């Protein structure tokens, strides 16, 4: 079982950094001592402390407390025909890559490569799929570490959003639509964590899939490394407005859904 990418302390840290709050200013605004804040940021859960921090950080207190208590775990969507997830190791992290295929034509596409594409290549061969495309959510090293190998093994063509061009991948402007047999792949700009992060919305199969990279995690989100405001806005307006049963496929952590994150993600629940 893939663990959550972030604990409550990670959410606190990301929100504080995004809002430009120093430890001193955060502790003062929340009415906490520096030691109380230090303990919380180190992962020591104290509900009273967390409830004081939540409004200052513009986080939902109930969702943040549930995360701190270990009560939140998204429901497993179960097996989805024509879809596989590949959690791979990259350094001390687990990073996800995904494989989607049209059940009729057996045409397939990969979404990111993770740290090692071996399991994905094996699955492609076992299922007699034809991998024609590799779509990159963004170009951070953990998501593209196996790109050249996957291209060599399959002959697939790689695509990347034009705000993050890299050698070996064709850039495209967000809004472009791709076809995968009977499936449609719509592209949404969800920048903020990275300069040109792309969410791929795959429709026409058994479930609507939103492959979001590091834009959104179960119970958290990617850090707003480029723009915290853009990251929040894109998640809220472009991902969490999708139908509630849309399966969210994040770059790290377990699969979740739009409904789960509307209700349980401290950044967005209300």
Three-state SS sequence of 69-87: HCCCCCCCCCCCCCEEEEE
CA distance 230 to 221: 12
Q: Which residue ranges make up each domain of the chain?
A: 8-69, 83-264
Hey, what CATH topology would domain 83-264 get?
Answer: Metallo-beta-lactamase; Chain A (3.60.15)
Per residue of the chain (270 residues), what is the pLDDT tens digit?
A: 799 999 999 999 999 999 999 999 999 999 999 999 999 999 999 999 999 999 999 999 999 999 999 999 999 999 999 999 999 999 999 999 999 999 999 999 999 999 999 999 999 999 999 999 999 999 999 999 999 999 999 999 999 999 999 999 999 999 999 999 999 999 999 999 999 999 999 999 999 999 999 999 999 999 999 999 999 999 999 999 999 999 999 999 999 999 999 999 999 997
What's residue 139's pLDDT?
A: 98
Which whole-number Å values give the CA distances from 42 to 7, 8, 28, 45, 48, in the listed order?
10, 10, 18, 9, 16
3-state secondary structure of 264: helix
Which residues, 6+ apart, have CB-to-CB distance to 84 below 8 Å? 98, 99, 120, 123
One CATH from 1.10.260.40, 3.20.20.70, 3.90.870.10, 1.10.3720.10 for 8-69: 1.10.260.40
What's residue 270's pLDDT?
A: 77
* pTM of the predicted structure, to 2 decimals: 0.97
């Amino acid at each position: 079982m893939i663990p959550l990418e972030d604990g409550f302390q990670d959410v606190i840290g990301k929100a504080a950094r995004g809002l430009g709050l120093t430890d001193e200013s955060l502790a003062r605004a929340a009415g906490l001592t520096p030691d109380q804040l230090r303990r919380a940021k180190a992962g020591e859960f104290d509900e009273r402390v967390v409830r004081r921090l939540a409004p200052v950080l513009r986080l939902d207190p109930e969702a943040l407390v549930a995360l701190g208590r270990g009560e939140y775990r998204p429901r497993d969507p179960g097996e989805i025909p024509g879809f596989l997830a590949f959690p791979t190791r990259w350094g001390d992290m687990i990073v996800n890559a995904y494989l989607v295929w049209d059940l009729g034509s057996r045409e397939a596409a990969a979404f990111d490569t993770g740290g090692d594409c071996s399991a994905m290549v094996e699955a492609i061969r076992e299922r007699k799929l034809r991998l024609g495309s590799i779509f990159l959510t963004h170009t951070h090293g953990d998501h593209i570490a196996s790109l050249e190998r996957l291209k060599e093994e399959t002959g697939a063509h790689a695509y990347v959003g034009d705000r993050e061009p890299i050698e070996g991948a064709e850039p495209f402007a967000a809004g472009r639509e791709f076809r995968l047999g009977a499936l449609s792949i719509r592209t949404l700009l969800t920048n903020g964590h990275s300069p040109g992060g792309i969410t791929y919305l795959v429709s026409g199969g058994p479930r609507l899939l939103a492959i979001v990279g590091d834009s959104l995690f179960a119970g958290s989100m990617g850090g707003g490394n480029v723009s915290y405001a853009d990251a929040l806005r894109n998640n809220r307006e472009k991902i969490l407005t999708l139908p509630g049963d849309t399966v969210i496929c994040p770059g790290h952590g377990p699969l979740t859904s739009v409904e789960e994150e509307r209700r349980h993600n401290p950044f967005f629940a209300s």
